[in-house]
Structure 1
Amino acid sequence: MQLPPLGLYIHLPWCERKCPYCDFNSHESAEIPEAAYIDALLEDLRVDALQAQGRAVQTLFIGGGTPSLFSASAIRRLMQGIAQTIALAPDLEATMEANPGSAEAEKFAGFRAAGINRLSLGVQSFDDARLKALGRIHDRNQALAAIAAVTEAGFDNFNIDLMHGLPGQDEAGASSDLTTALGFNPPHLSWYQLTIEPNTVFNKRPPTLPIEDALADIQDHGEALLAEHGMQQYEVSAYSKPGQQCRHNLNYWSFGDYLGIGAGAHAKISGEDGVIRRYAKTRGPADYLNSDGNYMANERRLDAAEATAEFMLYALRLNNGFSIESFEARSGQELAVIADKLDSLMERGLLERNANQIRPTALGRRFLDSVIGEFL
């Protein structure tokens, strides 16, 4: 079995204030044990490095939490330690999430010098009223200044993260956010609808969101605006200039492999024997730091049905879908196991096949949850 490309996800779980819509493993803290946590991350990676099975890491992603709360010197030590522990591809894509606060923006040049070559800036909106409704701690002016600081720090590859369908937002407001972001000529934009997730403040006290017709208008006008500015949609919520797709996320959606280190980090690893494993690390930051080198929380093997379902769950998010070869190589199953479902969806105009490639149609993308649900 030919192993898929390998990525590395690193979780830094602390934030200054947890947002009411956030269901990630993030924890408010005024003080961060930087040195101890970097030590733990590097020990965690030393344990996991054997899972690479001779592969170099092609992409690296530092998520959170708010990773940019860490100092540039801590990120430099982390990146140096990673390079000493596991092989890295010469063209490594190294992404780090960052907040637009002024304190974080001052560190951007340091992050670039540390080896981070792509920043993902969590702007969410340029409207102060919308930012307040989302519980964000930055304002419009800080967001504008932070984007300028990204380019000044030497980043020619970066992402602006925006949300739409926000409390009190109409189509004009959503389009204004996009227009402002596009004015910076970003290589990549993440643009996605606010959803209310379980175990969040918004789930307990739901805000009033735009009605379905308004959400449809926002989506239609936004997609047209992005296309006018040369931003190509390649995934449900991802748009980029040609050749500027996020390689790390493409690896996720293509059912590639990735190691996961840090509190609550998840991983997916394929073996040369065809077995696909998922595992997760100890979730709580304090428990993770006190793990004495045993960071694993749980591990399981995917059976044939799970491997098929997970492949389809991710691959159908891509506008270009998947090739038959990639399905069979990465799920370990013959296409015949889903042939009847594929035929049914193609008859209904939800999927299309062009030689070796199967992808959602425009109609299929509109009803993607239902399409994916056929395989779960």
Structure 2
Amino acid sequence: MLVPPPLSLYVHIPWCVQKCPYCDFNSHALKHEIPELDYIDALLEDLAIDLDRYQLADGSRALHSIFIGGGTPSLISAPEIGRLLAGIEARIPFSDKIEITMEANPGTVEAGRFQAYREVGVNRISIGVQSFQDDKLKRLGRIHGKGEAVRAAGLAQEAGLNSFNLDLMHGLPDQSVEDAMSDLRQAIALNPPHLSWYQLTIEPNTLFYSKPPTLPDDDDLWDIFEQGHVLLAEAGYQQYEISGYSKPGMQCQHNLNYWRFGDYLGIGCGAHGKVSFADGRITRTVKVKHPRGYLNPQKAYLDQETQVGDEERPFEFFMNRFRLLEACPKQDYVERTGLPLDSIQQPISWALDKQYLLDQGDHWQITEQGKLFLNDLLAAFVEEDQ
């Protein structure tokens, strides 16, 4: 039987100072002042409608985590972030140890607000550093420099947050292996509890897609990954998902819930959500994407609502779960998909034969071989391939 998992909330703030050439997120360069009062009002109304639509208004499920992403959420003032968080808590209870993360740029104005954000309830900041080399930052379209990035990390340390994360990219245009290691050593020196270290990928509908830069070749990318993994391990960081590294006990709880096939409401422009019900339904939602449409009082916030069928659930579950390096409890599959274990007997047997998975009694563990051939492993759980 499907057991509703922990519940999180994602809040999307769609505005940025300027659009980065690699970014395919739903973000919009600022042309006018942010309508923050109206947008916070809309977010709270969006949430109230969702809570009523999905029978969550009775407070029977508390929020496990909140993630405020974008765009650049730190363009919103601290008082309005405080009003948002207070409004959310008035509508749905918070768990005792709720993690509330907000993304921020290292720019002087945004970083100067870290203390104020903590005072209104934010207890984790994720700082979009991307690189510590000014020439690379310029190529990426970032509006901060190395000095601001270093200063932002220091301000996060001083703000008394429970945790903070640095976002760092590798595989940048014309980046050498030593350039990448220099960035990583600088990040480690700032001692963040959490590091998101991920490779730049060129996505459709971006400037880099239409005008591709010269990126490191596969040999250099492999050297960067291998040498970087050693550096991070030596510094006490544990890899717990494909691009997530943390000090012991400092994993991002919001990310963990997402990859464990947990539930999350999504409010704000283009936000995605997933809600499970005790009667066996799993519903996915997408909100209206453009700020004009989202803020139009004549238009509903919900753009799409779909049901995840039984035939889709094995692939969706493992597509998320195998991003994590931890072992996967077999009972999680049963409780979070509502399907019996024998529904995946054939692909699991195939994966065990291929040594992509290990059977550890109550758990499955993805192997190094499985990580290398992850697409093949996941394809085994697509209905027509079984």
Range class of TM-score, shorter chain? over 0.9
Deviation at 1:173, TM superposition (A): 1.2
CA contact (8 A) 2:293 2:299 kept: no
Q: 1:266-324: CA deviations, max 9, x gaps?
A: 10000110100001111101100004472110101111111111101000111014111
Identity %: 51
Which residue of 1 is the match for residue 240 of structure 2?
A: 234
Out of 33, 37, 42, which is 1:35 matched to? 37
Q: 1:258 aligns with which of 260, 264, 280?
A: 264
4+ long deviations beyond 6 Å? none
Residue 100 of structure 2 is matched in structure 1 by: 94
Contact 2:153 2:192 in 1 (8 A): no
Deviation at 1:153, TM superposition (A): 1.6
Give me the TM-score of the superposition, normalised by structure 1: 0.97
Moved more, 203-212 or 328-337: 328-337
Aligned to 1:368: 374
User: Displacement, 1:161?
Assistant: 0.6
Displacement after TM superposition at 1:49 (Å): 1.8
Q: Render the CA deviation track for 1:329-373: whole Å, top value 9, x for unaligned.
A: 101112222222222222222222211111211222223233223
Which 10-residue stretch deviates more, 298-307 or 51-60? 51-60
Q: Distance in 1 between matches of 2:376 and 2:185?
A: 31
One-letter code aligned to 2:186: T
Aligned pair partner of 1:158 in 160, 164, 167: 164
State the match for 2:140 in structure 1: 134
Matched, 1:4 2:10: no
Instruction: State the alpha-carbon separation in 1 of the partners of residues 325 and 375 from structure 2.
Output: 14
Name the amino acid aligned to 2:94: L
Q: Could you list the per-position Cα deviations for residues 233-282 of structure 1 after superposition, in whole angstroms to 9, with x for gaps in the alignment?
A: 11011011111111101111000001111111110000110100001111
Unaligned runs of 5+ in 1: none
So what's the TM-score if we normalise by structure 2?
0.95
Aligned residue for 2:15? Answer: 14
For residues 302 and 168 of structure 1, the distance between their equivalents in structure 2, rounded to whole angstroms, comes to 42
- When structure 1 is superposed on structure 2, of 355-364 and 186-195 the one drifting more is 355-364
> What's the C-alpha RMSD, in Å, of the aligned pairs?
1.2
Paired letter, 1:254: R
- Which has the larger displacement, 262-271 or 356-365? 356-365
Alignment of 1:326-365 (within 5 A): 326-365=332-371
Pairing 1:122–2:128 present: yes
1:213 aligns with 2:215: no
- CA distance in 1: counterparts of 2:374 and 2:180, whole angstroms: 22
Give the letter for the 1:36 counterpart: D
Paired residue secondary structure (1:311): helix
- Structure 2 counterpart SS, 1:305: coil
> What are the superposed Cα offsets for residues 138-181 of structure 1, whole Å, 9 maximum, x if unpaired?
11111001111111122240111111111111211111111111
Q: SS of the counterpart of 1:166?
A: coil
Structure 1 partner of 2:74: 68
Q: SS where residue 116 of structure 1 aligns?
A: coil
Gaps spanning 5+ residues in structure 2: where?
none
SS at match of 1:304: coil
Q: Distance in 1 between matches of 2:187 and 2:320?
A: 27
Distance 1:293 1:81, change over 3 A: farther
Aligned amino acid, residue 25 of structure 1: N
Counterpart contact for 2:102–2:125, Cα < 8 Å: yes
Tell me the number of residue pairs that the alignment of Structure 1 and Structure 2 aligns. Answer: 376
Partner of 2:47: 45
* CA distance in 1 between partners of 2:287 and 2:281 (Å): 20
Secondary structure of 2:155's aligned partner: helix
How many angstroms apart in 2 are the aligned matches of 1:66 and 1:21?
15
Change (3 A) 1:93 1:293: farther
Q: Any idea what the Cα deviations from partners look like across 1:173-199, whole Å, max 9, x if unmatched?
A: 111111111112211110111111111
1:31 CA displacement = 1.5
Amino acid of the residue matched to residue 204 of structure 1?
Answer: S
Structure 1 partner of 2:192: 186
Contact 2:164 2:193 in 1 (8 A): yes
